[in-house]
Amino acid sequence: MKEQMMTLKTMSLAVVMAVFGAISTAEAHHSAAYIADFTKPIQVKGVLTTVKFINPHCEFRVDSKGADGKTVAWSFEGPPPVFFRQAGLKKDDFAKHIGEDVTVTTFANKMNAPTGFFKKIVYKDGKSFEMDFTPDR
């Protein structure tokens, strides 16, 4: 059951990220599958520093303190801003949380770079924003 659920999550994120990754204009942009390991969800805790509504993808940056005490600037990639906008979401819906301690769920970067696809963010007040693309929902 656990494996099934993981597969479903893997599949749903693969779908949406492939969708987002496939879009530039009329043809493919870049592949999500080569960048992220969708079998390895990870959480990054830190301070939300930047929200960019910009093409080709939205970007969220989080300063996270590593085990060695050094701060690492993480960058998380979301969908194109027009997708959020179409659902009635504005930049400020995210940007109003800048400066807060947040927890971002992403997937491990295959190159061990501090970047990843934006899956879920939990804000300081416990409320969350999640990309939900379960196909058979």
Partner 1 sequence: MKRQALGFGMAVAMSSLLILSAVESEASAAPAADATPKTADGRPSLSGLWGGGMPLAFEARKSEDGSIKFGFKGGKPPAALVNPGPKSAPQYKPEFQAKLKGMQAGNLNRQDAVFSCGDPGLPRVGAPQQIVQEANQVVFLYAGFSGMVFRVIPTDGRPPHDTDPSNYGVGAGRWDGDTLVVETGNLSTDTWMGGDGYFHSDKMRVIERFRRVGETLEYNVTVEDPEVLAQPWVKPKLVLTKASMPLEEPYPCDAEKAASAADDGPRQLLQ
Residues making contact with partner 1 (CB under 8 A) = 3-4, 7-8, 10-11, 14-19, 21-35, 38, 52-56, 59, 77, 80-84, 86-89, 109-111, 113, 115, 126-137
Amino acid at 104: V
Cβ 18 to partner 1, closest distance in Å? 4
Q: What is the DSSP letter of 134?
A: -
Cβ 136 to partner 1, closest distance in Å? 8
Cβ 69 to partner 1, closest distance in Å? 25
Cβ 114 to partner 1, closest distance in Å? 11
The residue assigned the tokens 């999500």 is: 32
Nearer to partner 1, 46 or 57 (CB): 57
Nearest 5°: CA angle at 130, between 119 and 8?
65
- Reference 20, options 60, 50, 56, 74; nearest CA is 56
Nearer to partner 1, 98 or 114 (CB): 114
Determine contact, residues 24/56, Cβ cutoff 8 Å. Answer: yes
Q: Which residues pair with 37 in a beta bridge?
A: 108
Nearer to partner 1, 17 or 104 (CB): 17
